[in-house]
Chains A and B, each alone.
Chain A
Amino acid sequence: MNDIESEVKLDKEVSDEQLIKRFQNGDNYAFDLLVKRYKEPLLNFVFRFLGNHTDAEDVVQETFYRLYKNKHYYREIAKFSTWIYTIAGNLAKTELRRRNRRKLFSISHYMSTEKDYDIADTEFGPDTLTNSDITDKIIQDAIDKLSPKFKEVIILRDIQGFSYEEIAEIVHIPLGTVKSRVNRARLRLQKDLKDLVEEP
């Protein structure tokens, strides 16, 4: 078997836990494979959390950078996927807090100058978006309105498709709390998106 074939085999057959083990033992190719496996799912998770592509990509870069630097902190008692999602989720929450502080500052700054500002929404025009895009944007706006603790569980459950048990591991909260948060988040989204659902 040549090198390329063995690499393809490694990519498809080896579990995440085996890859991180190999990476811990100095195999940087295993790190590349982990990046390849998780960059898109993590980006989608963080993008839904922050609602901004550039910020989301920065957070995912930071997540992989920390994985590279702190690879020895991973212990086999946890699934690799829940571990890496915990890191990304924590970084996303930190970014959200930082952004809220910045927003608070900028709002007070604008208010002190007593001027009206019209901010053009360049990405939301009839010519540039399809119906599906618009629906997605409306849903994203409703997700953005949720508080971070509800937002995190609803994204992990309904967009990423994690089980309740996996979410409990990622967020470090009891299973009952996960179920209750998912339930409340769904009811809140239903309330906010009632008009969207009623459309034919």
Chain B
Amino acid sequence: MMSCDTAKRMLSEYVDHALNEQDRFQVEAHLQQCPDCRKVFSDVEYLTQRLRRAQTVQVSADFDSQLRTRIMDDSQNIPEKGLPIRKMSFGFSGAVVVAAVTFFFFSQLSTPPDGQNSVSHSTMSNVRQFSLPVKGKPIENQTAMSSVDKISEDSLKNPPLPVDESKIKLVGQERQQQP
């Protein structure tokens, strides 16, 4: 037999007569066996009909005249075409600020600290620090290994180099030998 949850999921379609014949038959079979669901279905059918008969409200007598007044008031206050002056002044002052900041930034970069007008080596290196990373082909695995990694790998493969221990001077030993 159909469960109560399944029957309640089909409630709306049952009330709206939108269920197919097979589902409808199953729901009705369940309702014959289940008084709780029968009560719920009957209540919902009553409420659905009651809602359709709910009292209606009317618009107030001056609804149309109020609407007309509002539309006419609005059409008399149409803003001028194009950008309003206030917006334009904001845009202009914004552009001035951006230009001033850009000018200040580049003038700082191109003027060396010693006051020379020519672009010195140190200035160029400063500029390089601000440069964006260059897009290019990805480095392949073989070349991607850094030089430090390669050195570490070689030192592991090769046998250790012979060391002349007499040439090694530790800090303490050096102090003792000085006097």
Contacts and interface: CB of A to CB of B under 8 A. Distances in A.
Bound together: yes
Interface of A: 35, 39-40, 43-44, 47-48, 53, 56-57, 60-61, 64-65, 68-69, 132-133, 135-136, 139, 154, 158-159, 161, 179, 182-183, 186-187, 189-190, 193-194, 197
Nearest to B8: A187
Which bracket fits the contact residues of B? 20 to 34
Contact of A132 (B55, B56, B59): B55
Contacts of A154: 51
B60 interface: yes
Interface in B43-70: 43-44, 46-48, 50-52, 54-60, 63-64, 66-67, 70
A196 to B, nearest CB: 8
Interface of B: 8-9, 11-13, 15, 40, 43-44, 46-48, 50-52, 54-60, 63-64, 66-67, 70-71, 74
A47 B67 contact: no
A183 B56 contact: no
Nearest to A64: B67
Contacts, number: 79
Contacts of B46: 197
Contacts of A48: 54
A186 B47 contact: yes
Contacts of B74: 65, 69
B12 A183 contact: yes
Most buried by A among B9, B11, B44, B51: B51
Contacts of B52: 158-159, 161
A56 B74 CA distance: 21
A35 B64 contact: yes
Contact of B43 (A43, A132, A197): A197
A60 B59 contact: yes
A190 to B, nearest CB: 5
Contact of B67 (A61, A190, A193): A61
B60 A194 contact: no
A53 B50 CA distance: 21
Q: Please indicate which of the listed interface residues A53, A56, A65, A197 has the most CB atoms of chain B within 10 Å of its own CB.
A: A197
A187 B66 contact: no
Contacts of A61: 63, 66-67, 70
A194 B42 CA distance: 11
B70 A65 contact: yes
Contacts of B44: 186-187, 189-190
